[in-house]
């Protein structure tokens, strides 16, 4: 009598509803004690679940993407003892002759009936998408074989990808691919035809026969070695003794890796198609990805540069409707464009922000004195034209701030003109029109230009040329509030000035405290071009100009 045992998920701590991301065995596989059956992944760790005993897998009870808990049945296994007992019953006479090899009797080989015994030609076996759980319309992301390719049993045919996992569909038998029916990008479901397989006629059932030819009491070193080579115990051994992969080990256009390894590669920004695999059958392991990153960094990143900019992993999709009522609103065109530009600037520029403050008491009094005259000129005189004039003078004093880094990052382009961008909050999003030749214009003219570009920005009437050519930008939030913030450099500029709300503060003048109007500001700059000492000198000089209005007008 055969004895079938259920192998359940053991105690895995406080984890619940843990996702199955990899199934490492199939029905008919012989497994050994401690051989991994499945791979689970929680928010904190990836874990492999081993078999507590040896035997033959009869049925796999879970699928990739399932959420399981302690006590759930993973597989059913025909135990080693039962298999040995059946073999002993089938060979009662042979047991009396230990020196004679057993007859090549096959105790019900599971796959012999599906393979023709005639040597005249192979059988056409349709290969369909197996049961993949509750997934529907799963996308084909890789086609790993072509017409005429030779595949082994359990060799991968295609790779499917869902929102939760990536899975490879294996071949049910060895043979030659005839008539591939799907291609990359197709959406498939259970039962869809993948290809037809011309099975091997001359090899009816080598694995069951080999197993039947061995005495039950004798060890089985070769099948065990084969099993460990194909499954995870062998993979662990390969990880302990990695070898340098040859180009042929990982065919171009193929990447055999588990979902966990693929996600690990995405998190590091690595194109997994360029990683040579050192695991069984060229499979890519986590260590292969780590070694690839180390080599790439040591060689000056030629491979990563060839694949394009760093690609960060997409954030996980969250169904917020499960927490309450929601509404989806499309981002405006300006926000989409500026968002991509700011994202690239934040990733590509090593930012440093220097915080400082300026005493603008006298400057504010001077501005109020000029207010009546400005009204006669037909302009609204705010603090911004004075700040722009001071910033232009600081750029003249420190020309490395009025520059751009060449695309090859080997040269600095110094600009002899002074054009300043001013961030404007509009109903459609943030826009940065540019006021030109700030160093050559007076305060009233700057005020007039500023009124013009700001109104056109809010009305959506700016031309592309109106937002190009800036040397440095100003982002002023003082009219709203706040004390400090970190502005993002508006590439290809190398610095940006952020201005917060000015307020009266007590300042010590040597004998007593007196109220002074203090304006906090911050300077973000590209650390590849400007070092910390230069940043401090710049902000100190700017604060002096704003604090001594006479010096500004000279």
Catalytic pick from 274, 341, 351, 527? 527
Cβ-count burial of 321 within 10 angstroms (0-12 exposed, 13-18 middle, 19+ buried)? exposed
Query: Which DSSP string do the residues of 464-517 spell out, in sequence order?
Result: GGGGS--SEEEEE-TTT--S---PPP-TTSSEEEEE---EEEEEE-SSSEEEEE
Q: Alpha helix locations (H) across 144-231?
A: 206-212, 221-230
Strand 472-476 to 420-422 pairing: parallel
d(CA 166, CA 160): 6
Locate 117 and state its tokens. Answer: 């015994």
**Sheet order of strands, 67-68 included:** 46-50, 36-41, 18-23, 67-68
Helix (H, G, I), strand (E, B) or coil at 520: strand
Query: Is 527 among the residues known to form the active site?
Result: yes
CA proximity to 499, closest of 517, 482, 515: 482
**Residue 219, Cβ neighbours under 10 Å: how many?**
9
Q: Alpha helix locations (H) across 122-248?
A: 206-212, 221-230, 232-240
- Count of positions (residues) in the chain: 554
Helix (H, G, I), strand (E, B) or coil at 228: helix
d(CA 107, CA 100): 19
End-to-end CA distance of the chain: 105
Sign of the torsion formed by the C-alpha atoms of 232, 238, 242 and 247 = negative
- What distances in angstroms separate CA 314 from CA 159, 185, 364, 528, one per listed residue? 20, 20, 48, 28
Query: Which DSSP string do the residues of 324-345 spell out, in sequence order?
Result: S-----PPPHHHHHHHHHHHHH
Q: Which residues pair with 150 in a beta bridge?
A: 176
Match 């420190």 to its residue by tokens: 398
Active site members: 527
């Amino acid at each position: 009598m055969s004895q079938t045992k259920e192998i359940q998920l053991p105690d895995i701590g406080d984890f619940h509803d843990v996702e199955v991301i990899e199934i490492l065995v199939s029905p008919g596989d012989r497994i050994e004690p401690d051989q991994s059956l499945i791979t689970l992944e929680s928010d904190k760790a990836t874990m492999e679940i081993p078999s507590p005993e040896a035997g033959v897998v009869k049925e796999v009870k879970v699928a990739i993407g399932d959420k399981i808990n302690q006590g759930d049945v993973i597989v059913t296994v025909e135990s080693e003892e039962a298999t040995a007992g059946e073999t002993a019953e089938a060979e009662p006479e042979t047991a009396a002759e230990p020196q004679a090899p057993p007859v090549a009797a096959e105790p019900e080989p599971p796959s012999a009936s599906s393979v023709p015994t005639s040597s005249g030609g192979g059988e056409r076996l349709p290969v369909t998408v197996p049961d993949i759980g509750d997934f529907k319309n799963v996308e084909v992301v890789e086609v790993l074989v072509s017409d005429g390719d030779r595949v082994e049993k359990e060799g991968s045919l295609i790779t499917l990808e869902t929102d939760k996992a990536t899975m490879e569909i294996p071949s049910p038998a060895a043979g030659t691919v005839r008539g591939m029916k799907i291609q990359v990008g197709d959406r498939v479901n259970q039962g869809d035809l993948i290809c037809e397989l011309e099975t091997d006629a001359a090899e009816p059932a080598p694995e069951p026969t080999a197993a039947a030819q061995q005495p039950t009491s004798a060890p089985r070193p070769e099948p065990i070695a084969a099993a460990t080579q194909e499954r995870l115990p062998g993979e662990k051994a390969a990880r302990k003794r990695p070898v340098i992969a040859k180009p042929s080990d990982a065919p171009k256009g193929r990447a055999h890796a588990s979902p966990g390894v693929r996600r690990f590669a995405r998190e590091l920004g690595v194109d997994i198609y360029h990683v040579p695999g050192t695991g069984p059958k060229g499979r890519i392991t986590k260590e292969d990805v780590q070694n690839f990153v180390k080599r790439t960094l040591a060689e000056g990143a030629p491979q990563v540069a060839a694949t394009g900019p760093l690609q960060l992993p997409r954030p996980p999709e969250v169904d917020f409707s499960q927490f309450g009522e929601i509404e989806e609103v499309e981002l405006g065109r300006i926000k989409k464009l500026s968002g991509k530009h700011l994202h690239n600037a934040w990733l590509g520029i090593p930012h440093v922000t220097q915080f400082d403050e300026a005493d603008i008491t006298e400057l504010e009094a001077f501005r109020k004195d000029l207010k009546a005259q400005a009204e006669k000129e037909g302009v609204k005189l705010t603090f911004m034209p004075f700040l722009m004039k001071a910033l232009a003078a600081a750029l003249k004093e420190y020309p490395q701030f009025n520059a751009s880094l060449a695309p090859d990052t080997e040269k600095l382009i110094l600009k002899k003109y002074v054009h300043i961008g001013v961030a404007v909050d509009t109903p459609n999003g943030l826009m940065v029109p540019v006021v030109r030749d700030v160093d050559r214009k007076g305060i009233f003219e700057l005020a007039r230009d500023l009124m013009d570009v700001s109104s056109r920005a809010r009305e959506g009437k700016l031309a592309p040329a109106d937002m190009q050519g800036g040397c440095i930008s100003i982002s002023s939030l003082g009219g709203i509030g706040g004390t400090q913030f970190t502005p993002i450099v508006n590439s290809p500029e190398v610095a940006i000035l952020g201005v917060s709300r000015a307020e009266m503060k007590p300042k010590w003048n040597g004998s007593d405290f007196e109220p002074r109007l203090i304006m906090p500001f911050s300077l973000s700059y590209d650390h590849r071009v400007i070092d910390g000492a230069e940043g401090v000198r710049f902000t100190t000089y700017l604060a002096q100009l704003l604090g001594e209005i006479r010096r500004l007008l000279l």
